Amino acid sequence: MKKWHLKFVLIVFFMCSSLFSQEKVVYKQIDSIALSMFIYSPENIDTSKKHPAIVFFFGGGWNEGSVKQFEPHAKYFAQRGLVCFLVDYRVKKKHQTTPFESLKDAKSAIRFIRENAKNYHIDSEKIVASGGSAGGQLAAATALIDGYNETSDNTFISCKPNALILFNPAIDNGPGGVGFDRVKDDYKNFSPIHNIKKRTPPTIIFLGTKDALIPVETVKKYQKLMNKAGSNCEVHLYEGKTHGFFNYNKFDNYKSTLLKADAFLKSLGYLEEKPKIEVE
């Protein structure tokens, strides 16, 4: 391991192990299923201020997955001053559900966070949704899709995030896209790329050029449609990288995408200071 690489690991480990606190809370109950989210807050959080929040949805094709996927990201952004949420949601292998239930849960999670913003010292107008692959689709869909709301939700509370950070997101669910075999003709009301509208939250997307599931052309089309709608969409392509290239076990890519996401949030005014990470 290179010297700078090891130093980065040790600095991140130190900060992430000492500068946040963790909590688990049930945000939704569906019959016998209790859905939880794990909350990472800055240690000694200033309760007199409202802090930005970021909500992470794991990937796994709406079939499986773990909240641990974005745990390193949550720990990092907690020490940067954000309140972070790792959301568990219903998936096929565990709950015998469809992608539609997954989206209902994602919307419920953001509504729960916004409704309880005061309790978690959150600025309800600075909520970021993030996710990878199918989790990226869920994050984007909370902003773009009007349907698929849980009947128990208070729909007067908005589920729309204020910004999006998407990692190889499954944003096209139409014919030839990810998940079409499961959503069928409902893609017209489910697929983010087919539902881009004005005032879509500012977005940053990370994608490897060798991703076998998400073509580069799809993301470029998404960016074009976003720009046409008057919304900002920043795209970062990683040459030769494949699906899931951004995960923590691909450390160099993890670090690169993490710091670009940090800069994106800084450009929106969600972060003020520079990262306290020095890479030598």
3-267, which class in CATH?
alpha beta
User: Collapsing DSSP states into helix, strand and coil, what is residue 124?
Assistant: strand
Of the candidates 131, 110, 132, the residue with the CA atom closest to the CA atom of residue 122: 110
Mean pLDDT score of the chain, rounded to an integer? 92
Over residues 148-205, the pLDDT tens digits come to 999 999 999 999 999 999 999 999 999 999 999 999 999 999 999 999 999 999 999 9
With 50 as the cut, is the pLDDT of residue 130 above it?
A: yes
Contact 81, 157 (CB under 8 A): no
Residue with tokens 């409902």: 186
CA-CA distance, 5 to 250, in Å (whole number)?
A: 12
CA 168 to chain centre: 11
**Which H or E element spans position 111?**
helix 99-115
Total length of the chain? 280
pTM: 0.92
Residue with tokens 């409704």: 115
pLDDT of residue 43: 86
pLDDT of residue 276: 62
pLDDT of residue 273: 77
User: Collapsing DSSP states into helix, strand and coil, what is residue 128?
Assistant: strand
- Quote the tokens at residue 114: 């916004």
CA-CA distance, 159 to 182, in Å (whole number)?
A: 24
Give the domain ranges of the chain: 3-267
What mean pLDDT do residues 39-46 have? 92
Percentage, residues of the chain above pLDDT 90: 88
Percentage, residues of the chain above pLDDT 70: 90
Of the candidates 200, 62, 224, the residue with the CA atom closest to the CA atom of residue 131: 62
Over residues 199-241, the pLDDT tens digits come to 999 999 999 999 999 999 999 999 999 999 999 999 999 999 9
Contact 251, 5 (CB under 8 A): yes
Of the candidates 194, 270, 249, 187, the residue with the CA atom closest to the CA atom of residue 225: 194
How many CB atoms lie under 10 A from the CB of residue 79? 22
With 70 as the cut, is the pLDDT of residue 87 above it?
A: yes
